[in-house]
Structure 1
Amino acid sequence: MNRRTTATLASAIAMGLGLALAGCSSGSGPELKVSGAFMPQPVSDMAGGFLTVTNSGDTADKLTSVTSSLSDDVQIHETKNQKMQQVKSFDIPAGGELDLERGGNHIMFMGIKKQPKQGEKVDIELHFEKADPIKVQLPVEAQTHNPTKH
C-alpha cells in the first residue's frame, strides 16, 4: 500500500468508527419524569394513586407495575365505559405522557396495611419495560382532591 492509500483507508476507518459511535448515542431511549403525584385519603382498605409520567425521550416505554409497602397487591387499572379493570401495562409514548387521573386510568392499592392520613406521604416504585424504576412519594390529600390540568 502506498502512503495515499493508507491515509485514505485510515480516514475511512475513523469516519466509520465515528458514525458507529454516533449511532450508539443518538438514541437516548425513554426519558421519564413523574409529576402531579397524589393519593386521596382512603376511606376503606383500598386506595387510588394518581400521577403523570412524561417521556421526553425518543423511545416509547411501558409502565408495567407498581410496588409499595402500603399494599402487597398494587394494580394498574384502566377505566373504560365507567368500569375499572386491571391491565398488564400502560403505554408511555415517545415525546408524550401517561396520565393516571381520577375518573380514568389509575393505580389501585388493594388491601392496604394502614390508613394513611392527609399530610402523610406514601412511597411507591414505578417499574417500566425499558427505563429504570422510579421512586415516588404520593402526598395524601383530602378525599375530594382532584387537581385540574393547566
Structure 2
Amino acid sequence: MTRRTTALSAVALVAALALSGCSSSGGEAKSSGEPKLEVSGAFMPQPVMDMAGGFLTVKNTGGAADKLTSVTSPLSDDVQIHETKNQKMRQVESFDIPANGELRLERGGSHIMFMKIKQKPKQGDKVSIQLHFEKSEPITVELPVEAPNHNPQKH
C-alpha cells in the first residue's frame, strides 16, 4: 500500500510542478497583465485658424487598461485633450483605454486640441506629437496634415 501511495504522490507532485510551471509568470502571463498600445489612423486637418485638431485611434491589445493623460507637440505649448458631449466640447484630464479595447479620437467626438499653434502646417506636412500614458511609455506619432474637410468616417 505504501508503494502505491508513494507512486500516486510522485505523480501528483510532477503534475503540480508542471501546472505551476505553466502559470508562473513567464513572458506571456506577465504581458497579458499589462497594456499593449498601438496607434493608427492619425491625422490633422489643415488648420484654418490658430487652433488645430488631431485625431487617431489607440488600440490596447494588452490585458490591462491604461489612460491617455496628455499630449505634447512642438506645434503648440498648449495641447489639450477634449471630449464632446451633447455638442459641447470640454477639456478632460485623461481618456480611458480599456484592456483589449480602444480609444477613438475622431471628428465630432473626443479629440486632441492644439491651442495657439506656432505656425499653420499645410496639407502634406507632418506634425509630430507625443502621447503620454498613465502606465505605458510615451508614443511618438507623426500626424499627416490632410485637407481641412478630411473625415475618414465619411468615406
TM range (shorter): 0.7 to 0.9
Question: Which residue does 1:26 correspond to in 2?
Answer: 29
Corresponding residue for residue 109 of structure 1: 114
Query: 1:50 and 1:65 mapped to 2: Cα distance?
Result: 14
CA distance in structure 2 between the partners assigned to 1:111 and 1:127 by the alignment: 21
Describe how 1:1-150 pairs up with structure 2 within 5 A: 15=17, 18=21, 21-22=24-25, 26-28=29-31, 29-148=34-153
Question: Per-residue displacement from partner, 1:19-63 (whole Å, max 9, x unpaired)?
Answer: 674277513110100000000000111000000000011100000
Deviations 1:73-128 (A, max 9, x none): 00000001101000000000011100000000000000000000000000000000
Give 1 or 2 for the bigger CA radius of gyration: 2
Q: Which runs of 5+ in 2 are unaligned?
A: 1-5
Alpha-carbon distance between aligned partners in 1 of 2:134 and 2:87, rounded to the nearest angstrom: 28
Q: Distance in 2 between matches of 1:137 and 1:114?
A: 16
Q: In the comparison of the two structures, how many residue pairs are matched?
A: 141
Q: Distance in 2 between matches of 1:149 and 1:117?
A: 22
Q: Per the alignment, in what secondary structure is the counterpart of residue 103 of structure 1?
A: coil
Residues of 2 paired with 1:33 and 1:75: CA distance? Answer: 20
The answer as to whether partners of 2:23 and 2:29 remain within 8 angstroms in 1 is no
Superposed CA RMSD in Å reads: 2.2
SS of structure 2 residue aligned to 1:22: coil
Residues 57 and 95, structure 1, Cα contact 8 Å, conserved in 2: yes
Return the alpha-carbon distance in structure 1 between the equivalents of residues 67 and 154 of structure 2. Answer: 22
Matches of 1:97 and 1:90, distance apart in 2: 10
Q: Is the 8 A contact 1:120 1:139 kept in 2?
A: yes
- TM-score, normalising length from structure 2? 0.83
Which consecutive residues of structure 1, in runs of 5 or more, have no partner in the other structure? none
Q: Which amino acid aligns with 2:129?
A: I
Question: Which ranges of 4 or more aligned residues in structure 1 deviate by more than 3 Å?
Answer: 14-21
